[in-house]
Amino acid sequence: MPSVSLTRVPIWLWIWAGLVGVMLLLRPALPLDETRYLAVAWEMWWRESIAVPYLNGEYYDGKPPLFFWLMHLGWWAFGVNEWWPRLLAPLFGLGALVLVRAIAGRLWRNHAALETAPLLLLGSFYWAVLCASAMFDMLLGFFALLSVHAVIRAWQDGDARNFIVVGLALGCGILAKGPVVFLPALFIVLSAPWWGHDSRNGRLTWRRWYFGALGAAGISALVALVWLVPMALGSDIDYLKNMTVHQTAGYVTESFSHRRPIWWYLTVLPFLLFPWSFWPRAWLALGAVKTMSGDPGMRLCVVWAVTVLIVFSLISGKQAHYPLLMFPAVALLLARLLPELDRGRDGSLFVPAIALIAVGALWTAAGRGMIPAASAAWLNQVPFHVPYVAGAGLIGLGLATALARGSVLTARITVLAVASCAMVLVLAWGVMRASWPAYDMRPAGAYLSHLESQRAPLAIAASYDGQFNFYGRLRTRLDKITASAAETWALAHPDGYIIAFYAAEHWPPAAQPVPAFQSLYRSGGMAIWRARDITQYPQLAQTFRQFR
């Protein structure tokens, strides 16, 4: 069996492995998103509910089920564990890097973009953050890239059968995070007469092109129906409406939770795309797009990036991770353009290096005393050395970046990509080392698991996102009550327990007696109170503060 030389493994694969491996060891699943998704997968698992996701005994309409199904696949093979669900998204992130390289190869054959495009994508700060998180975005990005790759294959090879792959990819994307997966491929297909010029294979007529695209849409709908039909039969009409209407049209016309102005992404993208947005050479490269306007691949990537940004800007509901679908297009554009402007040594690396040094200096100078203690309860318990070690780490990264001014373009891109991923790890270490007790749900989950084993009734005086369910392997439904109803619930369940959240300014609770369990929780704290204590000390319920 032939051996594989480690020197032939691409550098971006090493960077990915280091980023993901350290992040998995560095922290547990974090509330509220990661622990929520683990909780939904766990409840579907023990309920043996394949079609309908559940959370705390109720239908969960936040996301489609593909991510949860893939978690179940690993649990079926390895047993219920935490590492497999947290490794899934990074694996799809790795697949996205492979696909962006394949797209670069399709667009520009043996160009240097083949090796630099994955580096430019992985090195984008926010892509690196989400690549190491148990979120849906890497699944969405993978299937969107797979559909784009298949569209390009259909265009270049003149084979409409590639639209079958497009349809399957889009269908899986719908099951991963909804119809948003259509955005890149849809606009690329529609604008093909503009970006394609004469590069289309003559065997594929315009009629076959657009009929193939319609066929892909039909295939994607069939894939989605594989889930939607049994889901509708196993739930109710309200849940079906929530999953199909609320999660699409609702966010287009009226945000339910993340309403922001149309220009909002222009203010955050420079930080999400660090270090490339802070690298003058990258801006010079993008400024040269007009000089290569005849390149079909360049036009395709411009359509891809611009239309995705416009669509997400027009949608009222905005989150930082929504425009992630444009990141591969930006990476491909830079990968194609940077070699055209490269003239050897590049002093402009000083700019992202100075940005790193500045962030590190601010972090170090702030320490713990300059941050208002009321903003987060855990700030009062931060180990003395943490801000200084994390700040020194960022300053060290900046200095190393400033000194690493090689004459080879790929080396400079590699330096910036490594610096960006290392920045993610340093920030993650600094934040997690400082706030670990406030974001580690395992102790509270273990205590609730103990109470569940004693058949104790459980309630929570707040909204609930399932943050304790997976780590506690809970099967008991937590009753959601208001603080004003706590005494009534306690009288009806004298052997029960109530979970209460507190804002930072009200933590720790001054009331007596001592709670059965208490810990820091996010920016505030949480306590688990005995029902009998609440009936004896009614003022306890008055101390509850819903955490938002």
CA angle 502, 503, 504 (to 5 degrees): 115
End-to-end CA distance of the chain: 57
Q: Assess whether pLDDT exceeds 80 at residue 546.
A: no
Q: Assess whether pLDDT exceeds 50 at residue 1.
A: no
| pLDDT confidence band for 252 (50 / 70 / 90) | very low
3 state SS of 517? strand
Instruction: Please name every residue paired with 521 in a beta bridge, in sequence order, or none if there are none.
Output: 524
Q: Give the range among 190-194, 253-257, 449-453, 516-520 with minimum mean pLDDT.
A: 253-257
Q: Assess whether pLDDT exceeds 70 at residue 369.
A: no
Q: Assess whether pLDDT exceeds 70 at residue 200.
A: no
For residues 508 and 225, the model is more confident at 225
Q: Assess whether pLDDT exceeds 70 at residue 417.
A: yes
Q: Assess whether pLDDT exceeds 90 at residue 516.
A: yes
For the chain, what percent of residues have pLDDT higher than 70? 91
Phi–psi pair at 114, nearest 5 degrees: -60, -40
User: In this predicted structure, what is the pLDDT of residue 202?
Assistant: 65
Please choose, from the candidates 137, 42, 146, the residue with its C-alpha nearest in 3D space to the C-alpha of residue 475.
42
User: In this predicted structure, what is the pLDDT of residue 152?
Assistant: 95
Residues in the chain: 548
* Domain positions in the chain: 10-251+260-341, 347-439, 442-542
User: In this predicted structure, what is the pLDDT of residue 246?
Assistant: 62
CB 383 within 8 A of CB 437: no
3 state SS of 499? strand
Distance of CA 517 to the CA centre of its chain: 32
User: In this predicted structure, what is the pLDDT of residue 384?
Assistant: 67
Give every CB contact of residue 53 below 8 A, 6+ residues apart in sequence. Answer: 40, 43, 44, 59, 60, 61, 62, 63, 65, 68
What average pLDDT does the segment 94-113 reach? 92
pTM of the model: 0.92
Structure tokens at 393: 């780490």
What average pLDDT does the segment 177-196 reach? 92
User: In this predicted structure, what is the pLDDT of residue 241?
Assistant: 78
User: In this predicted structure, what is the pLDDT of residue 513?
Assistant: 86
- pLDDT tens sequence across 158-180: 888 999 999 999 999 999 998 99
Structure tokens at 71: 């978690």
For residues 79 and 343, the model is more confident at 79
For the chain, what percent of residues have pLDDT higher than 90? 55
Q: Assess whether pLDDT exceeds 90 at residue 418.
A: yes
User: In this predicted structure, what is the pLDDT of residue 458?
Assistant: 96
Q: Assess whether pLDDT exceeds 80 at residue 193.
A: yes
What average pLDDT does the segment 129-156 reach? 95
Structure tokens at 164: 């079958």
Q: Which of 43-57, 353-367, 377-391 has the highest mean pLDDT?
A: 43-57
User: In this predicted structure, what is the pLDDT of residue 363?
Assistant: 78
Q: Assess whether pLDDT exceeds 60 at residue 201.
A: yes
